[in-house]
Amino acid sequence: MRIDRPPMGWNSWNTFGNDISEDLILKTADVMADEGLLDAGYKYLVIDDCWSLKERDKDGRLVPDPEKFPHGMKYLADYIHGKGLKFGMYSCAGTQTCAGYPGSFEHEFTDAATFAGWGVDYLKYDYCYHSPIIPGKYLYRRMGLALANCGRDILFAACSWGSDETQEWIKTTGASIWRSTGDIFDTWQSVKDLADRQDALLPYNGHGCFNDMDMLIVGMHGKGNVGLSGCSDVQYRTHFSLWAFMGSPLMIGCDIRNMDDVTRQTLTNRELIRINQDGWYSQPFALTPMMIQSSVKIYAKLLENGDVAVGCFNMEDTKTTARFNIDEIGLPVSTGKTLQMREVWSGQETAPREGTVFWDLEPYGCAVFRCRLTDLA
């Protein structure tokens, strides 16, 4: 299945890990559909690892754990579809999943047919316990081919963590998104580490096969399966802004049944989602911070209506000022053009001075601008 925009949704792993159930999924579907998340663009509800029994049935098929999911997966899929959402599930290219449940190695076509029969729309495909002598590109091509022939459109979400130079071969597998990183944890250091991997991978992002920086930790506050120290609301805002700007899939990882107003406002910022879902999906490019500020990441990208998005991200714990020249965007003074800039969190308007932008950033803070071209005065 090919898609033209990064998928948005919710995944069970970050908060719940093994502690998943039919009741949790049904209530999460209700919240997504009824409390604004579906309207904001979040449509995939994905059950991650730990959903099956530890053994296949006599015909070699995966079996949902009847204690966790007493009505089975088709029942869940029908309920989720009835809410206007899409249903996602999890498997692995190895003999076992990361949590020790049956993987899809040598069962790819059987499992793809099983998922299709249940009404699955999205498959996250992990990389634990994989063969040490079979390169990942062959394992992911197997499942890609199986999904393409299962009789149902299923989004193939490859999760090989960037291993084996994933970016070099992932587009040969039919995957629509590919994980470029290891797992995220609910700490600021984890956000920084995953963000630091991205500059070298910018050329490998684009239509039909989106670079997945892993799921969101916004609103977790140290609770749940990957909850460690937690982050501040400012750090969560910067994390969300960077993921959205870079065109990563936006998969919520907190417990949306009790998220607070700040978390909801962060996850539903319409302008950032609009940038993330922009139809051109142009490759972001790094701008050079003036004064050589190692703490600040600055990116720009073209948007489908001729606008430009610019993101400034302060990754450290001190105040700073982002400074960059719009010549790098393609607007030297000789063009007779400049930018009128609107910051999407505050709504504040600004414009370059003598071709240079200056913007103060709080510790761990960010600024994301949607900019339109205008004539120089």
Helices 108-118, 136-148: inter-axial angle, 10-degree rounding? 40
Q: How many other β-carbons are positioned within 10 Å of the β-carbon of residue 13?
A: 26
**Going by DSSP bridges, is the β-strand pair 177-179/122-126 parallel, antiparallel, or unpaired?**
unpaired
| DSSP 8-state secondary structure symbol assigned to residue 124 | E
Q: How many other β-carbons are positioned within 10 Å of the β-carbon of residue 207?
A: 14
Whether the Cβ atoms of residue 166 and residue 158 lie closer than 8 Å to each other: yes
Quick check: is 126 catalytic?
Answer: yes
Q: State how far Cα 341 lies from the chain centre.
A: 26
Contacts of 127 (CB under 8 A, 6+ apart): 92, 93, 94, 136, 159, 160, 161, 163
**What is the secondary structure of 44-83 as a DSSP string?**
EEE--SS-B-SS--TTS---B-TTT-TTHHHHHHHHHHHT
Whether the Cβ atoms of residue 250 and residue 276 lie closer than 8 Å to each other: yes
Q: 16: helix, coil or strand?
A: helix
Tokens (6 digits) for 376: 């120089």
- Catalytic site residue from 48, 111, 121, 126: 126
Tokens (6 digits) for 166: 């994933």
- Catalytic site residue from 65, 153, 164, 183: 183
Quick check: is 48 catalytic?
Answer: no
CA distance 102 to 130: 12
Contacts of 139 (CB under 8 A, 6+ apart): 93, 105, 130, 131
Q: 286: helix, coil or strand?
A: strand
Q: Which residues are catalytic?
A: 126, 183
